[in-house]
Structure 1
Amino acid sequence: MKRIILCFVLFTLWFDMQAQSNNTDIKGLISDIENNPIPGISVRIEGTSLGAASDVSGTFIIKNVPSGNYVLHITGIGYESLNESVIAKAGEVIQLNITLKAATTQLQAVEITGRKEITYRNDLSFIASKTASPLNEVPQAVSYVTKEIIADQQAYRTSDIVKNISGVNQFSFYDDFTLRGFRNNSSQSKMINGLRPVGIFGPQTLLSNIERFEVIKGPASALFANANPGGTINYVTKKPLSENRKAISFTTGSFNTFRANADFTGPMNESKSLLFRLNLGYEDADSFRDLQKNKSYMVAPSISFLPTEKTSINFDLVINQYQGKLDRGQPIFGASAGTGLNSTPTSFAIGQSNDYHTNNVKYFTISLNHAFSDKLSFNTSYMKFAWDEDLFEHRTSNNFAVDSLGNQIPTLMEMQVINRVRKRVSDNITSYFAATANTGAVTHNLVAGFDYIQQLQPIGGGQSRARRYRTVDGGAGNYRASNASQFLFQNSLPVPNVPHFDLQNPRYTVAYPHEYIFNEKQSFSATKYYTYGFYIQDQIEFKNLKILLALRQENYRDVVNFETSDEETVKQDKLLPRFGMVYKLTDYLNVYGTYTESFQPQSASVLQNPNVGGPFDPLSANMIEFGAKSELFKGLLSTNLAFYQIEQNNILVNGNSPGNPDLLEQRGQERARGIELDVIGNIASNFSITANYAYNKAEITKSDDENEIGRIKENAPEHQGGFWAKYTIDKGVLDGVGIAFGTNFVTERNTFDTFREVNGSPLGLTLPSYMVFDAALYYKVNKFNISANFNNLFDKTHWVGGYSYTRLFPGAPRSFLLNVAYTF
């Protein structure tokens, strides 16, 4: 019996070995259209239980496949499914190279799972039409910067990356930019994942959790309520991935810079229905500016839950703190001194050693997408955003000191001290249905929804201010030579409440509040505004033509004297249309045209002041834009060419009434006309590029003051542009070595002092044009990546923005950053 069993076992083993020798192994490499390997892709043989998943290098292997004809079903979140036919022959090894395209209509109308690509390009936008739309099918210019560009340039804040986008330039050091010639420094034109945060006119937050930075050019009120006519900025946060990716990096460099980043993502269970992502960021750095430094950190966890194929949910939490000083810019000598921009060094800042500024930002987001069927889905997102600040600063009063006759002393800066504590909270919800329907040969993609936004400033904030000149009765006030007897004098000069800052002999000390007279104390009242809108949109598709029709009814409410017995609601309403067309000329070239409008409500304080006149209509703007979008190098390189005109009306100006200095009039028009070109993507799999150019003429076209007509708006350059290119050697002894080079330029810009007159003498402060060059070196070996970035290679002195002689914003001199990153 034992011999019989032994023979049976030996025969079974022999038969199995013979069977396996007649079987086939199927191997393959899965990559995207830019030849980047894609991990986590499922490969299954239809009708069998055989299959495998691609690893971190994009490779897979299915062993011991019996001879026969099969179909491989290849699927992965974020990519279009693919079927591949194979013929398995005994003893052969099948080697496949499979290319997957990013899905353009899959899963989410709300961005819930992350972007898997690791390239400069991005094919989709959620900001342009509320749902996932291919960028080349959007009838409006949309520019972006992906996390890969942010990493390659070692950018850490928004001001570091706007140079990559046509028509956008800095206005100051704050979260403050010019878009197509119109200033954008409020929450009305900033979004996080398409939801509106609190406007923070101060330090810029870290980019550690940002997947991409987007700008939809021109008015976007038909999408997002009251908005800036130049464009809307959207920050897309990193979302979880269905594959394991982990990365850490450490950076040091000029100005005592120390940074650390971490990014961990992957599935939390075997079914991959629960995904997580955790982004961490830290910076402790000085600045090329005197006294300035900052210490910031960010903690940003995110979880995506995919309980069924039809439902997906995402939770985001971001906690960000900034500690430093508020940089109010570089003062230079007054115009009468005749020494211009170089009268003080660009490092020169005003303040005292114990000034401080602490900002805390927290926001929570939840998004839900549920598909009732292949043709109908419901989407909703909610964000709670909270911001608070604690500020103590010595800063300019935006004036020069005066002598006993009231004449300006151009080398002495009049100062003030501000101590401020405040908080703001916003709630933002957007909900809509998305449906697909056909009427004959015409396809309709319908969106209908509702938005609600509110912002509150709770009771508890306040500000104390010390400034002006000491009076003989122990107070402080505005000095006039006609009432000089009311003021104290020292060395024949009126005594300032806060000591003047000597621009020729600066002196920094530790100063304290008890040294000043804080006679301006303000308790911030509780405030509230809210706005809600209903909208409908139809994207109509017929053969090569796509038409977008949209209409929004916006209702803006400003609550005056909130939570008091005199509470009153000020109403401003607007019907906002949007119309666009895209025509597909070839597989790689689309042309488009669009018309859209925007509005910005007048502030309640203006509307409620009986002395200003009125009533006043909201600021309104409209835009006409035409352009072309193309895909070059077999779709690897995207280009967008845009021609546009934007007109803004209903601008409030002073009524010039001698008997009523508060009187305002609504007149005037501002117009911007321009051309923009954006190029981004790959020329080859190892050669990435982003380039942009903008011509823009933003001017005053209508005014009762004839001297204003034709005047170019402040910080609106006529020309700007630049490029960044990265080439990586992928073979030979230098395999893994990369080099990058870039430049950006901005032409001359006006400031607020360019046309202002003081004592009858015109001031002519303009900011000169500049061109700055950057470069970088990279070396990647196994999972390590070492990079060195060199910014402003030729140490060009330049100014990125400015207000006046008292507040200019210089660009950084030559500097370097050294980064070491590890992926595992």
Structure 2
Amino acid sequence: MLRNIIFRTGRILKARINDFRYQLAVGVWHRPAVYLCYALNGNRVGVDTWVLIGLVAAGGQLNSSQAVAAEVVRHFNIGGQSLNNALIQFAAQAELELIFSADLLRELASPELRGDMSAEQALTHLLHGSGFTYRFIDTDTVTLERSPEATELSNLPPPVTLDAMTVVGLKTGEAGAEIATERMLDEARTYAVSHIASATGTDTPIKQIPQSVHALKRPLLDDQQTINLSESLLNVSGVVPRNVLYSPVIEGTLIRGFRSEQLIDGFTQYYNPGDRESTINIDRIEVLKGSNALLYSGGSGSPVGGVVNLLSKLPQAKAFGEAGFRIGSHSFYQPFFDVNQPLNANILLRMTGEYTNARHDIDIIETQRFNLNPALTLTDNEQTRLTIQAKLSRWQQPEYQGLPATGSIAGDFATRPDLFVGPDNLPDSHSDADALWATLDRQLTGSWRVNLKARYAQAKFDEKIQTLFGSDGLIADRPLLPASNWALVNAELFQQQHERSVLGNLQGKFKLGPSENNLLLGADYSRLQDAGFIEGNFGALGLGVGTVDLRAPLFATPYDVPGPGQENQFIENITYGAYLQWQSTLYRRLHWLSGLRLGKVGIDFNNAQTGIHAKTDTLKWLPRLGGVIDLNDEVSWFVSYSEGMRGQPFVNFVDTPAPELSNHLETGLKFKVSNQFSGQLALYQIERSQVAVTDSSDFLRRSVAAGRQRSRGVEMDLLWQPVEGFSVLANYAHTDARFMDDKAGVAAGNRLAQVPEDAGRLWAHYRFQQDALQGFSVGFGVYARAGAYLSNNNRFKTAGYHSFDAALAYETGRFKWAATVKNLSDEDYFQPYGYFEGRVAPAAGRAGFLSFSIKY
């Protein structure tokens, strides 16, 4: 008897086998409308049972956009098991029709398959060593065949060849091969993300993570034609990125009102120097909100506000490449490339690179930056994968210090928004970063996996500035002398760092009664050495090297190097810890996460010039607890609690230095309705304690770890994809970040600087499906936010603003061109800049960009 098992969406199929026609009965098999059909023939054909596994689609509808090519990258999560069962799961997750002989495969075992990859890569991995290979019959149907070598060496009979089988029904691609290819790419361009690894260290469905987490896929960045990383972060609620004009000498991105950490593949960037705005090597951006002490340390310790983890593009098994060029307003030009070239099945190479030259509508500002990102992967395509990566990154630009509040958003005179504060002879500031790191991932058994990472990095930056000095010191939002005169100070900041980090974890999966469990044991160690100097020249009398009247600015005093340039400030940060994390799913409805870290923060600060030497040495248990309850198949409720600990370098303490502490409480809903409408709604509170504040009773104005701050808010992130090719992304955040006492020299209840109370983003994109417009896509977005205070004293506040952007693209075959306009309506506004804890930066005016690229 020939048994044909066909998994298909709810439509009546007709099959013709050996010239006999059968009407297949359709019956429900399991959610979400997957159907099991049997066609029984009275004659037995050979000894094999043949299986046709087809497209699995939710809601009982077959959407033509779900046709996918072998190259489309999807997320796979298949445990080690029989090859027969593994292939059934593969077909469902890849949304491909797969024809194979079940009887020949049942006795074969398959390796575990987890991660993002193409269907070809996944099949190659599953079939490695099985004696079978695969062949695509058409764009969404693949069949397995015994390899010639395996047939010769085995005693098994050759595969049975079926007579012609025709599956009648609408298949994508009938309008032509070119249109089918375009539609196959559509699925890869969706913005939705089902799994994320950064939050738990394991590949976990977002719906099961008791924390606000977000992932920005490459298709979103491409559709928005992102020029820099900072603008891409506006797609996540509660994130305030650092202004792109700011020199890359500090990581200033705020999440939920507090400083965050930027990581690359799990490694902290500390100062985040070099070409930090490039997106050429980013495959995905994962954002975690709140305290994240369990998994991430390094630098000064664990994050307080949140984490931005940049996941790099990695080598792939199939050769491809792209080269392009972008030009834009203000003499902007940017060549870029991405080349992936496997040497053989076990050695894979990839290199990305980008150079950017960009002027600004601010006087004399011209930015030059570039980065190169080589990667090499060695793999047996089964259990072991070793990836070695490197990054070479450079940035240079005249140091931009912003504009004082007086003369821009306050005062009785107006400073030109495009004014550059400083003399014409000011040399460029520089920021460099180089790193080499390796990741070893090995599947030990069907249940246990080990992951090890190690990195060496070095960086340096040199800032040269002629800055303003006002009645409020270097904040300089108020003039020193009425009504528009400031003193000038020549200054230089130089730092260089050497960092060594090692991270590792062991992951085990097991079942216990009605529960499915995931155990993670990990440890990490980071040592960062930082040396440099800060020098300033306040003039012979301490009243500045000169003055400037910003009513009629004339910078007649040239810049001179303010000191000998000898390193006199030395910092050594040593952070390490070990952790245990347990994830458990009970009855498929309750998802529990618990973890405990024993973390160490050690900071040795030595200022040879002043004779100040301070050491921090703190060991502390840091817990993480959370749970998710699936209220139904579409909505989940979560709650979580976590703690963090971060050292405080560059601070002269009165007594024994202490690290900053934080605790984070969050609850909310996660939902995904009909595979079209998804998102998260969250309420949270973060409290910071032991924040360094100046001791007003100390003659030397040293600090004590005694300040308290708190951030509360509500956030919403939504994604709506109602029809093929159309996506809408929206977010909103209300953030209330305040000082809880007056120990920082400001009144209790003051708001934290640079944090808008309300902010939101809306982006809509449509890829045309009509034959005449195939390849065209359009997008439109708006970002709006309330005003924010410039400094913690809450003396000055910017007004709220909004900004529109629009995009148009056309892609056909190997070629693509795109056009985008930023600040479409040429809005005029100021943003808090945060230079010496004050000042503002003007909005970039309307700017247009064109890009062209070719792929192979």
Aligned residue for 1:228? 303
* Equivalences for residues 154-173 of structure 1 within 5 A: 154-172=225-243, 173=245
Matching residue within 765, 768, 772 for 1:726:
765
Q: Aligned partner of 2:308: which letter?
A: I
Q: Aligned partner of 2:450: which letter?
A: F
Q: Aligned partner of 2:691: which letter?
A: I
How far apart in 2 are the matches of 1:36 and 1:359?
Answer: 46
User: Per chain length, whose mean CA-contact separation is higher, i.e. which structure has more relative contact order (CA < 8 Å, sep 6+)?
Assistant: 1
* Equivalences for residues 384-395 of structure 1 within 5 A: 384-395=456-467
**1:586, distance to aligned residue in structure 2 (A):** 2.4
Aligned residue for 1:252? 327
Within the alignment, does 1:632 sit opposite 2:673 as a pair? yes
Matching residue within 530, 536, 545 for 2:590:
545
How far apart in 2 are the matches of 1:806 and 1:579?
Answer: 38
Q: Aligned partner of 1:776: which letter?
A: A
User: Structure 1 residues 511 and 37, CA, compared in 2 at 3 Å: closer, same or farther?
Assistant: farther
Within the alignment, does 1:620 sit opposite 2:661 as a pair? yes
**1:39, distance to aligned residue in structure 2 (A):** 2.2
Aligned residue for 2:848? 816
How far apart in 1 are the matches of 2:722 and 2:323?
Answer: 29
Helix, strand or coil at the partner of 2:771: coil
Q: Deviations over 1:671-690 (max 9, x none)?
A: 11111111236333311232
Task: State the identity as a percent.
Answer: 22
User: Structure 1 residues 243 and 93, CA, compared in 2 at 3 Å: closer, same or farther?
Assistant: farther
Within the alignment, does 1:134 sit opposite 2:205 as a pair? yes
Aligned residue for 1:708? 747
Helix, strand or coil at the partner of 1:749: coil
Helix, strand or coil at the partner of 1:606: coil
Q: Deviations over 1:32-82 (max 9, x none)?
A: 99636332599xxx99xxxxx99xx999999xx99x9999x9964458979
Q: Deviations over 1:149-174 (max 9, x none)?
A: 22222223222212111001135443
Q: Aligned partner of 2:804: which letter?
A: F
Aligned residue for 1:504? 551
Q: Aligned partner of 2:753: which letter?
A: E
User: Structure 1 residues 354 and 566, CA, compared in 2 at 3 Å: closer, same or farther?
Assistant: closer
Aligned residue for 1:193? 265
Within the alignment, does 1:796 sit opposite 2:827 as a pair? yes
User: Structure 1 residues 568 and 642, CA, compared in 2 at 3 Å: closer, same or farther?
Assistant: closer
8 Å Cα contact 2:636-2:670 kept in structure 1: yes
Q: Aligned partner of 1:696: which letter?
A: T
8 Å Cα contact 1:353-1:509 kept in structure 2: no
Matching residue within 470, 478, 485 for 2:542:
478
8 Å Cα contact 1:558-1:569 kept in structure 2: yes
How far apart in 2 are the matches of 1:431 and 1:97?
Answer: 49
Within the alignment, does 1:669 sit opposite 2:708 as a pair? yes
Aligned residue for 1:656? 696
Within the alignment, does 1:182 sit opposite 2:239 as a pair? no
Within the alignment, does 1:592 sit opposite 2:638 as a pair? yes
User: Structure 1 residues 78 and 571, CA, compared in 2 at 3 Å: closer, same or farther?
Assistant: farther
Aligned residue for 1:760? none
Aligned residue for 2:571? 527
User: Structure 1 residues 450 and 738, CA, compared in 2 at 3 Å: closer, same or farther?
Assistant: same
How far apart in 2 are the matches of 1:303 and 1:31?
Answer: 35
Within the alignment, does 1:688 sit opposite 2:734 as a pair? no
User: Structure 1 residues 120 and 665, CA, compared in 2 at 3 Å: closer, same or farther?
Assistant: same
Q: Deviations over 1:73-109 (max 9, x none)?
A: 996445897999999863455579999xxxxxxxxxx
**1:256, distance to aligned residue in structure 2 (A):** 0.7
**1:521, distance to aligned residue in structure 2 (A):** 5.5
How far apart in 1 are the matches of 2:741 and 2:143?
Answer: 67
8 Å Cα contact 1:330-1:350 kept in structure 2: no
Q: Deviations over 1:627-676 (max 9, x none)?
A: 11112342x5431111111111222333332x635354544422111111
Matching residue within 575, 595, 620 for 1:574:
620
Give the aligned length. Answer: 721
Helix, strand or coil at the partner of 2:552: coil
Moved more, 775-784 or 358-367: 775-784
**TM-score scaled to structure 2, two decimals?**
0.76
Aligned residue for 2:427? 355
Aligned residue for 1:15? none
How far apart in 2 are the matches of 1:465 and 1:221?
Answer: 37
Helix, strand or coil at the partner of 2:221: helix
Helix, strand or coil at the partner of 2:495: strand
Moved more, 124-133 or 673-682: 673-682
* Equivalences for residues 62-77 of structure 1 within 5 A: 76-77=120-121
8 Å Cα contact 2:501-2:526 kept in structure 1: yes
How far apart in 2 are the matches of 1:774 and 1:627?
Answer: 31
8 Å Cα contact 2:805-2:824 kept in structure 1: yes
Aligned residue for 1:329? 402
* Equivalences for residues 76-225 of structure 1 within 5 A: 76-77=120-121, 90-93=163-166, 117-172=188-243, 173-174=245-246, 175-184=251-260, 189-200=261-272, 204-225=276-297
Matching residue within 485, 495, 515 for 1:412:
485
How far apart in 2 are the matches of 1:393 and 1:739?
Answer: 42
Helix, strand or coil at the partner of 1:751: coil
Which consecutive unaligned segments of at least 5 residues does structure 2 have? 1-17, 19-44, 58-62, 74-82, 85-89, 111-117, 127-139, 145-159, 173-186
Helix, strand or coil at the partner of 1:693: strand
User: Structure 1 residues 276 and 399, CA, compared in 2 at 3 Å: closer, same or farther?
Assistant: farther
User: Structure 1 residues 663 and 455, CA, compared in 2 at 3 Å: closer, same or farther?
Assistant: closer
Which consecutive unaligned segments of at least 5 residues does structure 1 have? 1-17, 48-52, 100-115, 470-475, 480-495, 756-763
* Equivalences for residues 248-397 of structure 1 within 5 A: 248-269=323-344, 272-331=345-404, 333=406, 338-339=411-412, 342-346=414-418, 348-397=420-469
How far apart in 1 are the matches of 2:613 and 2:168?
Answer: 74
Moved more, 560-569 or 366-375: 560-569
User: Structure 1 residues 27 and 420, CA, compared in 2 at 3 Å: closer, same or farther?
Assistant: same
User: Structure 1 residues 593 and 89, CA, compared in 2 at 3 Å: closer, same or farther?
Assistant: same
How far apart in 2 are the matches of 1:338 and 1:438?
Answer: 68
Helix, strand or coil at the partner of 2:502: strand
How far apart in 1 are the matches of 2:354 and 2:54?
Answer: 34
**1:770, distance to aligned residue in structure 2 (A):** 0.6
Matching residue within 814, 832, 839 for 1:807:
839
Q: Aligned partner of 1:328: which letter?
A: Q
Matching residue within 413, 431, 436 for 2:509:
436
Q: Aligned partner of 1:600: which letter?
A: R
**1:241, distance to aligned residue in structure 2 (A):** 2.0
Within the alignment, does 1:559 sit opposite 2:559 as a pair? no
Moved more, 620-629 or 559-568: 559-568
How far apart in 1 are the matches of 2:771 and 2:756?
Answer: 45
Q: Aligned partner of 2:265: which letter?
A: N
Q: Deviations over 1:350-381 (max 9, x none)?
A: 34244212222111110011111011111111
8 Å Cα contact 1:28-1:97 kept in structure 2: no
**TM-score scaled to structure 1, two decimals?**
0.78
Helix, strand or coil at the partner of 2:361: coil
